[in-house]
Homo-oligomer: A and B are copies of this chain.
Amino acid sequence: MPRTEDVALTEEMVRKIVREEIVSAFRKDPAAKRACLIASKGTLDWAYPPLILATAAAAAGLETAIFFTFYGLNIIHKDFERRLMVSPVANPAMPMPVPMPDLITAMPGMQTMATSMMKSMFRKKGVATIRELLDVARESQVRLIACQMTMDVFGYAQSDFIDGVEFGGAAAFLSDARKSHVTLFV
């Protein structure tokens, strides 16, 4: 027989307990502890957002993965420093020393100039380099996953990529992403 303090709980009392527990459970929603990013672009400017967001997510305690696909494979290629260029063409939003029509920005050498300009702007402002961000990412357990299908299409071998890269497909990405609130296609 229940003791006095163990009075049988009514349905109403149980529902109250349940609601309390649920509010607290949603605060600890496991999907709030995971971030899954796709890096699909292979230029210097678009290499920054996935690496900055992923390292910030890891710093905030999220289990984080970046899935590199299509042109994004450039970012984790061993030769990324030479491969990651920036094109001023067709980007009227890119800050240039003087405004230039695309016919000028398309001239030979302009891509190299725009790339140096961006690297120097970033360096002067103390922004980490791509190399540094890749190092921070790996040190903070951000998983770097190369998309096998696009590796095949573009003719890359596993040995073309920096150390620590894993290999997987869209299915692997989705099995993580479906459990993550933060899912971003960059």
Contact = CB atoms under 8 A, between A and B. Distances in A.
A125 B107 contact: no
B106 A35 contact: no
Given A38-B184, A53-B170, A92-B111, 12 more contacts: A9-B11, A17-B18, A21-B22, A31-B32, A42-B91, A52-B149, A60-B171, A89-B89, A89-B90, A101-B109, A178-B182, A182-B183
Interface of A: 2, 6-11, 13-15, 17-19, 21-22, 25-26, 29-33, 35, 38, 40-43, 45, 48-49, 52-53, 56-57, 59-60, 62, 69-71, 74, 83, 85-87, 89-95, 101-103, 105-111, 121-122, 125, 127, 149, 152-155, 169-171, 173-175, 177-186
A16 B186 CA distance: 42
B31 A122 contact: no
A127 B102 contact: no
A17 B19 CA distance: 11
Contact of A90 (B40, B91, B121): B91
A92 B103 contact: no
Contact of A106 (B19, B69, B89, B169): B89
Contact of A153 (B18, B33, B85, B121): B121
Nearest to A62: B178
B174 A62 contact: yes
B111 A94 contact: no
A156 to B, nearest CB: 10
B48 A70 contact: yes
A41 B93 contact: yes
A122 B7 CA distance: 68
A90 B117 CA distance: 16
A179 B180 CA distance: 10
A57 B185 CA distance: 15
